Structure 1
């Protein structure tokens, strides 16, 4: 049996495995929020939980071999659930009552609301993220008096959106968070956070306004683009969000996104990736295979999937990263 929560874990993996209901409740309270749980199957109570954590994101795989009721205090975080096997029934928070089965992807409840329900011998994923991450990739209508971006529905707006979010969560779990040597890189943390936040906003209805307004279009001129490009070029080795780029260009998030689309037919983050790829290319060309690795250099510049990095590198430079490293 392995159990325990290592305080404020910012990076790493922990495992919990117990057939003691009180221990499970104590762990869940420390891992999520204050809650009460109960068992509907007296002969079984084993809970297995594996948590991977990266800064303001956690990805948990849970396997319960019993029926567990739960009543949870507000988490203060966006809590996504992907059901693998089993069912979650009588899930309730103010204004909503629902049930979920295999393949479903849902947001359990708004961060400021309690919720309750019953898990029936289920295997499922729980992914939690700081709500503030949403405002790093999008904004609400009036940015002169900024409001936090929030989700307005607990189910994705389409099956395709749910499938894409499910794939993103699996991608982060299996690649970005699986290797601590990669996950500890500062640029990986920002890349992962923005990827997940963007996928959440693409999947769920929200208060985010993504289409540029009239003032946004007026602000999306060459001067705005120049300020944004200068900021990116000067800070490519540091964590950068779309909100940072917009602030440096003195415009809204929507205006800077429209400026890149209008003048360069790309997005701010795609341009950031292009600049970082050029830095990775330089490092590969100037380092030696005795002192550096392709994976290490790629991770240093925010690329956490080796195969995707290699494909992007070959597409851009006509050769492989390893060939460049070998000189």
Structure 2
């Protein structure tokens, strides 16, 4: 397709993750570090000198990242500059008032929130503990176009809060999982897993926070050439399953748009391109375990991570459902 670039080295999220961590009692140092997350002017009032502590853990991949912030013993008031990316989080502890020109929310433990895009905001925090995701708006817009058909340029987020209490809980749980993998897992995610975590965060934001894609639905049908589209897409997935592929890249390889490839897979295979990719990766993991020396250095956990599973138990469950045995049994046999 014109203007279609496939497998470029600049795939968002498809890079190794670097981590930084700060622990300090100095508010100025903490504010300077937090300014890298979102540019702001900070006013810090000490409430309990004996309890003052700042902890900021950041994990950064290609154009996106996750942060875990803990502040104790202070009131932290910020005047935030407009941002051009999605910065969404959940409150772990403390109290927060977040206000934009159009909206105001008071947050308590477990509440999800999104900072306004393209507008100044005010945030008044008392002993806050936060987890944040920083994601490119262009990437989320592309996911919205792939999944709903809305033009990427038409995506707008419309509120600081999730659409409902169930979505608030869903967003908080998803964010907790992503931040745990990015910031707290024993080893930082590799490029493949980082890309999948970013896609998970983007998809969660699209269903949790009010936005213009929610009015769009899957309509239309696959054309007469859709079987050829599926063949080309499958060949591409089979060749590059170890890469952090996106629906857009798969569609580009098949010579069509994301919407068309989605509909073609649904019509001919009753699945999605990403679900097909996951099945291919599962089969590759099965092959690796079957061919491994049981006395060698190959492990189930390492194989799972290589093919994109951050949770060994989830990998084992999916593996058993398809191959009717646990991966550890395949490795030993």
TM-score normalized by the length of structure 2: 0.84
Among candidates 47, 52, 58, match of residue 51 of structure 1: 58
Q: How does 1:214-253 map to 2 (within 5 A)?
A: 214=220, 217-218=222-223, 221-253=226-258
Query: 1:240 Cα deviation (Å)?
Result: 0.6
Tell me the residue number matched to 1:101: 108
Kindly tell me: are residues 177 and 85 of structure 1, through their superposed partners in 2, closer, same or farther at Cα, counting changes over 3 Å?
A: closer
Structure 1: which 5+ residue stretches go unaligned? 1-8
Tell me the residue number matched to 2:209: 204
CA distance in 2, matches of 1:219, 1:58: 42
Q: In the alignment, is residue 172 of structure 1 matched against residue 178 of structure 2?
A: yes
Among candidates 147, 153, 158, match of residue 152 of structure 1: 158
Among candidates 29, 33, 38, match of residue 33 of structure 1: 38
Q: In the alignment, is residue 279 of structure 1 matched against residue 287 of structure 2?
A: no
Q: In the alignment, is residue 133 of structure 1 matched against residue 139 of structure 2?
A: yes
Tell me the residue number matched to 1:3: none
Kindly tell me: are residues 20 and 71 of structure 1, through their superposed partners in 2, closer, same or farther at Cα, counting changes over 3 Å?
A: same
- The 8 Å contact of residues 280 and 298 in structure 1, kept in 2 or not, is answered as yes
The aligned length equals 312
Query: 1:10 Cα deviation (Å)?
Result: 6.0
CA distance in 2, matches of 1:210, 1:309: 33
Q: Deviations over 1:251-285 (max 9, x none)?
A: 33233222222322222111100001111111111
Structure 2: which 5+ residue stretches go unaligned? 1-14
- The 8 Å contact of residues 53 and 177 in structure 1, kept in 2 or not, is answered as no
Q: Which moved more, 1:163-172 or 1:308-317?
A: 163-172
Q: In the alignment, is residue 86 of structure 1 matched against residue 94 of structure 2?
A: yes
Q: Deviations over 1:171-220 (max 9, x none)?
A: 22334653364612x22122111111111111122233752343x54478
- Cα RMSD over matched residues? 2.5
CA distance in 1, matches of 2:205, 2:211: 9
Tell me the residue number matched to 1:310: 316
CA distance in 2, matches of 1:296, 1:147: 39
Kindly tell me: are residues 122 and 43 of structure 1, through their superposed partners in 2, closer, same or farther at Cα, counting changes over 3 Å?
A: same
Among candidates 22, 29, 44, match of residue 28 of structure 2: 22
Tell me the residue number matched to 1:67: 75
Q: How does 1:186-201 map to 2 (within 5 A)?
A: 186-201=191-206
Tell me the residue number matched to 1:11: 17
Kindly tell me: are residues 128 and 219 of structure 1, through their superposed partners in 2, closer, same or farther at Cα, counting changes over 3 Å?
A: farther
